[in-house]
Structure 1
């Protein structure tokens, strides 16, 4: 049975009149890769800084491995933090950079050399120990920063958007490497990002933040397939929302509903058991491996439909612009969203 690595109890943080974090309760399990996902200003980085001890909460408690560490300074907490700015020492080689924290702690030279070498091997940089940071690629520098944090053997590793400075191709490669490193070392990773693809790729569970609160905590597949609110549906992946009169006309019921673009069938793909709606293709967006069809329904809203760009279909896709089509979907792919919860949150924020 997994134990709790991090527990946040009623955690809040205000900066003057601004409430950055508003009553967050959260449990992060020992050994999991946990991501905090949300737009800028949603409170996720402030929560990470309170776990690390760089910020003191206005109210609430921080527990690490069952111990209340709320009042402890950063150096007295069994955590390490990797930032987007790796802050490597340019005059030291890679091995010396990784050893530095152990040297400050007065760990004997032989032991710190052994531990630093093992940390570099864990991130697959053992053969670059003698290089300077300026001789490394961005991805290699990121792994050096990771090794420097891992060498201290923390119970929890905090990562504040560490891949944000990398180009897209390298960032995707590092996502897979980072997850594999986490599996290999077996410690708890708490990862902050605003990139939903990053969170979905690496995480065991994800907390989606909005306006200083957590909207939903779930495994990636559950978060994507069963979003708890319109905000989560729109922020995690692309979502088509049907609400009000449009929902009543198209679905025969009122409320707020979501249908993912890849779940919608178009034209001759529509099945006999599908729910259907007529409309006009307003545009076709070519995205290499896929096409996005923007279909304006007769009932009003515009739906995004995703189809694989198979060989020989590109010109056919573009020819659909301006054409009337029928779209359809299996009834089980319509997700009813908790609009009441979101409305209550807006009201509470306005009243506070």
Structure 2
């Protein structure tokens, strides 16, 4: 198995205390499928006890990285270390990790208790110990009274928690979660996001969570790695990734962002470049004569579209200076208040964040 030489570039997400040993260390990680570079040189440290999310669109490489960590795929180049141990070529059962998939794959003929005990039974753990550990795992996911039920007697959220208990019962150092909430409806998914984060805090192990849902990653994560075309575009806290995107791709993919460039940027911002302005940071006003306040940037334009979304209203505004901005406003007045009218937009200067690279 080829191994790429360690990179001399700064590592993404290095351990917060230099003396700490990362729970996961990826060095020069690559995975090729014929001519396709699914993973194309990933360097990453994830410290112990962190809720870490890998976020990106389909085909960005995030799930392949998860499968490489789990041992379901072997790297074309580079190395994978778990707590300082190189596991790059080891089988999945020789790595101290467990994986929870979107398809929970529970045995329908077994009870909840038996499903959770199954992995311990395969490992030859005694009956009394595996029963006690399974009961402890079910208690952790708040299902201690459901042990005798069959999976068919549970809701989608309860089955998801059984799959989580089945993984936790093995006491892994790292738990890998491959879009485990994707099959749930919106309200249940939101409830499970809160619950999953709380469980992670209670058990204290490293969670690596793969998702394409930006809101999910922002809600649950201590840190996020944003993937694109097999590479990591940015690693940071939810606040850093959202407020200070490192690239145009991150600005456009994480949440909703306006990118102002060219002559429009020069006329409005006053200097060339590509600038990210979040829609919720912008104030919309029908009074064109209203002066800009101290520390504010302003621009005029015409409303070209209004999208009603219940609690919010989104306005598309074509700027007189060139370019278009999207504005999100709380639904506190008539949604059609500015429809097809000329408006003035304003925002604080610090909310015009220059994107270091234009993707």
| Fold equivalence (TM over 0.5) | yes
Deviations 1:308-330 (A, max 9, x none): 112xx1x2x30311111110111
Q: Counterparts of 1:303-342 in structure 2 under 5 Å?
A: 303-310=325-332, 313=333, 315=334, 317-339=335-357, 342=359
Q: Counterparts of 1:211-226 in structure 2 under 5 Å?
A: 211-226=229-244
Residue matched to 2:282: 264
Aligned-partner Cα distance in 1 for 2:62–2:341: 44
Please report how far the alpha carbon of residue 270 of structure 1 lies from its aligned counterpart in structure 2 after TM superposition: 7.3
Find 2:186's aligned residue among 160, 163, 168: 168
CA RMSD of the aligned region, Å? Answer: 1.1
Residue matched to 1:294: 316
Find 1:138's aligned residue among 156, 160, 164: 156
Whether contact under 8 Å (2:263, 2:322) holds in the other structure is: no
Find 1:50's aligned residue among 63, 68, 85: 68
Residue matched to 2:134: 116
Please report how far the alpha carbon of residue 239 of structure 1 lies from its aligned counterpart in structure 2 after TM superposition: 0.3
Q: Counterparts of 1:1-352 in structure 2 under 5 Å?
A: 1=17, 2-267=20-285, 271-273=292-294, 274-310=296-332, 313=333, 315=334, 317-339=335-357, 342=359
After TM superposition, where is structure 1 displaced by more than 4 Å over at least 4 residues in a row? 268-271
Whether contact under 8 Å (2:27, 2:43) holds in the other structure is: yes
SS at match of 2:23: strand
Please report how far the alpha carbon of residue 300 of structure 1 lies from its aligned counterpart in structure 2 after TM superposition: 2.2
Length-normalised TM-score, structure 2 = 0.92
Please report how far the alpha carbon of residue 3 of structure 1 lies from its aligned counterpart in structure 2 after TM superposition: 3.6
Aligned residues: 337
Aligned-partner Cα distance in 1 for 2:159–2:223: 27
Structure (1 or 2) with the greater helix fraction:
1
Aligned-partner Cα distance in 2 for 1:119–1:326: 56
Residue matched to 1:348: none
SS at match of 1:23: strand
Q: Which runs of 5+ in 2 are unaligned?
A: 1-16
